[in-house]
């Protein structure tokens, strides 16, 4: 395993847990809602989570990386395009679900390199479920309680650099090995559409429309049964990665920070996230941070898509 990638992944896991704690402190209390210029909602939890993640990802002795966050400052493309590696963050994905208090919101942290995510963490504070992946290491899930315990039990210093870098790398590898041993390996095998004649589709709980309905209509001409399961935030990617759903089509607007962490988790679980029109993988750090329409799918659904 790449020791640097492992260390960055550990750093993002810890940041997500800390952010999740802050989000829950707001969630359990009365909170107000304001609105950004695009009329998307904003709460104190969004801001607190951003501040905690920004501090956590810039602290320690790992080489600091640029941060692009939904709640951060607007960074011009002329500056961003020179970045070789950076953090891409949604401090609170699913703010509408947070406001509805249905528990379906997440913290998304991705490490992007060469226009593609190479590591990602999706943490859902209410169910206390952490999903994570790194390029070439697979995708996993683990409870936040178990993950926090492993961090507490581990010796300090996995972020060490300079003369202590070899020891820090060794500590980081030991901690990551412990986490992987305790975690569940994800395999995006789906709900066996080939065997059952049925397909399970994850739909956005807050964003649906004609294109989604048309997509489902086309599926109904191929399969005996099409089940629609609504879900919020990046949990939709995680359901595909867990093999609990076959397809997650998204035709409404999303931003890069909404998808990067889920993208690498689905990919490392054996699935794909593709542009709905070109069938190519999604690209990140574009001049326009708006994503195209996309479809996340598991292994067997890839065969369906290629037919």
Annotated binding-site residue numbers for substrate: 70, 92-95, 258
Concatenate the DSSP letters of all residues of 105-153 into one string. Answer: -EEEEEEEETTEEEEEEEEETTTTEEEEEETTTEEEEEEHHHHHHHHHH
CB proximity list for 39: less than 8 A, separation 6 or greater:
none
What residues does 140 pair with on adjacent strands?
132, 185
Q: What is the largest CA-CA distance in the chain?
A: 63
Task: Centre a 10 Å sphere on the Cβ of residue 231 and count the other Cβ atoms it contains.
Answer: 21
Read off the DSSP letter of residue 42: E
- Token reading at 213: 């309905």
- Between vectors from CA 205 to CA 276 and to CA 256, what angle results, nearest 5°? 45
Q: List the binding residues for Mg(2+).
A: 70, 90, 92-93, 258
Burial of residue 264 (number of CB atoms within 10 Å: 0-12, 13-18, 19+): buried
- Token reading at 237: 């990617």
Q: List the binding residues.
A: 70, 90, 92-95, 258
């Amino acid at each position: 395993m790449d020791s640097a990638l492992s260390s960055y992944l550990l750093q993002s896991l810890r940041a997500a847990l800390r952010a999740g704690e802050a989000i829950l402190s707001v969630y359990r209390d009365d909170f107000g809602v304001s609105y950004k210029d695009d009329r998307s909602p904003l709460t104190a939890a969004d801001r607190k989570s951003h501040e905690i993640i920004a501090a956590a990802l810039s602290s320690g002795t790992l080489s600091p990386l640029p941060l692009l966050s939904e709640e951060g400052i607007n960074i011009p493309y002329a500056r961003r395009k020179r970045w070789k590696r950076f953090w891409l963050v949604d401090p609170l994905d699913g703010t509408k679900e947070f406001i509805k208090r249905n528990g379906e919101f997440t913290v998304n942290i991705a490490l992007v390199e060469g226009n593609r995510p190479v590591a990602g963490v999706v943490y859902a504070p209410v169910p206390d479920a952490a999903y994570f992946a790194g390029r070439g290491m697979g995708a996993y899930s683990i409870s936040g309680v178990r993950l926090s315990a492993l961090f507490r039990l581990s010796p300090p210093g996995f972020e060490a650099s300079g003369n202590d870098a070899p020891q820090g790398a060794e500590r980081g590898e030991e901690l990551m090995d412990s986490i992987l041993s305790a975690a569940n390996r994800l395999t995006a095998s789906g709900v066996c559409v080939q065997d059952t004649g049925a397909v399970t589709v994850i739909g956005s709980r807050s964003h649906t429309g004609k294109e989604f309905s048309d997509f489902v209509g086309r599926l109904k001409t191929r399969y005996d049964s099409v089940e629609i399961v609504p879900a919020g935030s990046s949990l939709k990617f995680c359901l595909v990665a867990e093999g609990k759903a076959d397809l997650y089509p998204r035709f409404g607007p999303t931003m890069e920070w909404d998808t990067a962490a889920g993208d690498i988790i689905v990919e490392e679980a054996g699935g794909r996230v593709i542009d709905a029109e070109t069938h190519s993988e999604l690209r990140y750090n574009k001049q326009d941070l708006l994503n195209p329409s996309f479809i996340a799918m598991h292994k067997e659904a890839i065969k369906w898509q290629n037919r």
